[in-house]
Amino acid sequence: SVPLLQAARKRNSLNLLELSEAELEEQFVRGDGPGGQATNKTNNCVVLKHIPSGIVVKCHQTRSLEKNRKIAREILQEKVDLFYKGEDSDVFKEKKASERQKQEKKRRAKENLERKKLFKEMQQLAKE
């Protein structure tokens, strides 16, 4: 189920499972990564754990504690939805659809490149 959890954080998922605050364990820790003193001296990184499933999310995307709390809850909600619903989850379906679109775009780009090569070859033959 690990690959399913990596599909989380995709937008426009409407019917996700609801989380209750009683099921959550929240901690505030120091973030890591670039940012220097602003990162090293403030506890604005949120670690959120869903106790029934054991899923843990760590969020340090902004310098704001409140924004990080909101983002962490969104990510956790999507991961919990994936954990319980699996391939029936909207998050999983959206990821699959975006992968199909990406593959189709690559295929079209490759076809266009081939057409351009053929066109140039035809021009070279016509000049000779």
Ranges of each domain in the chain: 21-86, 89-127
The pLDDT score that the predictor gives to residue 88 is 81
Q: What is the mean pLDDT of each run of 10 residues along the chain (128 residues)?
A: 50 66 90 75 90 92 90 90 82 86 96 95 88
The pLDDT score that the predictor gives to residue 2 is 44
The pLDDT score that the predictor gives to residue 111 is 96
Name residues whose C-beta falls within 8 Å of residue 61's C-beta, 6 or more positions apart in sequence: 67, 68, 71
CATH topology classification for 21-86: Double Stranded RNA Binding Domain (3.30.160)
The pLDDT score that the predictor gives to residue 54 is 92
